[in-house]
Amino acid sequence: MLNKYARAFFTRVLTPFAALLLRLGVSPDAVTLIGTAGVMAGALVFFPMGEFFWGTIVITIFVFSDLVDGNMARQAGISSRWGAFLDSTLDRVADGAIFAGFALWYAGSGDDNILCAVAIFCLASGQVVSYTKARGESIGLPVAVNGLVERAERLVISLVAAGLAGLHKFGVPGIDVLLPIALWIVAVGSLVTLIQRVVTVRRESAEADAAEAAVTGPAAADSAGSAGQGSEADR
């Protein structure tokens, strides 16, 4: 849901920066790789140490590369299938790193196996939610559904909560509870979104199969009839 509005806004805001990078000779693929590396560093270095505030700051700086690289490709007129593939693949890597960082914290110093499991579920469900749409589209279905918690929602909810929870180290009392709440929200929302997409793909595939049968059925029947007439004439 956030993708529809926030993405368009930040694309306009970041357009001058994307143009500057192009003038400096930076390629969109380089921005994609650097952005992913920055997100992974913020998540896998800071989060396992419980430094949620600084980890979120680092991740937020680099996560906008996901908008900048595409903007650069469009401005330069070099959009390609490879660029789209690389961007989507590294998005999954970055998302996985964020929730892996949470899981490492709760498996270690955070000392909460349940929240560790919830973070792992968020990681896995996020990957599967993305896969269901990609797989549905690969077999020719539109997968026309806006899920309850898609990638933008997962990132905003988890990173805002992590950043605020990190203020606990600056003396803000009780605020660290926001991260567990956010992880549960993302987990439940991802499950609902997964169900929405599976149901949508099931409905769209049934409609597509029915439409195909309606078109090929009479043609197949005519073909069979013609074949029968021909064999009768031969006899």
Tell me, what's the pLDDT at 230? 47
**pLDDT < 50: residue spans in the chain:** 221, 224-225, 227-235
Tell me, what's the pLDDT at 235? 40
91 is a catalytic site residue: yes
Q: Tell me the binding residues.
A: 29-32, 66, 69-70, 74, 80, 87, 91
Tell me, what's the pLDDT at 5? 60
pTM, entire model: 0.85
Cα separation, 113 vs 111, in Å, equals 6
Q: pLDDT per residue over 19-53, tens digit each? A: 999 999 999 999 999 999 999 999 999 999 999 99
Question: What's the distance, Cα to Cα, between the start and end of the chain in Å?
Answer: 66
Tell me, what's the pLDDT at 218? 60
Q: How many other C-beta atoms are found inside a 10 Å radius of the C-beta of residue 95?
A: 22
Cα separation, 69 vs 225, in Å, equals 57
Q: Tell me the binding residues for Mg(2+).
A: 66, 69, 87, 91
Q: How many other C-beta atoms are found inside a 10 Å radius of the C-beta of residue 127?
A: 15
Q: Which of 91, 176, 222, 234 is catalytic?
A: 91
Burial 20-49, CB ≥16 within 10 A → b, else e: ebbeeebbbbebbeebbbbbbebbeebbbe
